[in-house]
Amino acid sequence: MTTADVEAQRKILNRLRRARGQLEAVIRSVEEGGSCRDVVTQLAAVTSALDRAGFAIVSSAMKDCVAQSDDTAVGDNRDVLTVAELEKLFLMLA
């Protein structure tokens, strides 16, 4: 794994951890009878953090795809993604 890959993974994990914290705040707010405005605001923050993490993951896979000159798959033998699969993943987030 290159330094850029490690940095991208670190950023993705930070976004996911932030989303987890925000989701825990939503749960607490609902349990404690928080206001609708606060719950919806917190849910929007969770959604945004998850979307950003998802786009970063797909973007990272697409960069790997572009870097491979004559192969149409991305990843190692455990998780090979074709360009069509990457497109489908991207569209799932859109």
Q: Give the pLDDT confidence score for residue 65 in this predicted structure.
A: 61
> Which long-range CB contacts under 8 A does 53-59 form with residues at least 24 apart?
53/12, 53/15, 53/16, 53/19, 54/93, 55/90, 55/93, 56/8, 56/11, 56/12, 56/15, 57/12, 58/86, 58/89, 58/90, 58/93
Averaged confidence pLDDT in the chain: 81
- pTM exceeds cut of 0.75: no
Q: Give the pLDDT confidence score for residue 70 in this predicted structure.
A: 44
Q: Give the pLDDT confidence score for residue 44 in this predicted structure.
A: 93
Hey, where are the domains in the chain?
Answer: 3-93
**pLDDT tier for residue 79 given thresholds of 50, 70 and 90:** low
Model confidence pLDDT, tens digit, residues 32-73 = 999 999 999 999 999 988 988 888 888 887 776 655 534 554
Third-level CATH fold of 3-93: Methane Monooxygenase Hydroxylase; Chain G, domain 1 (1.20.58)
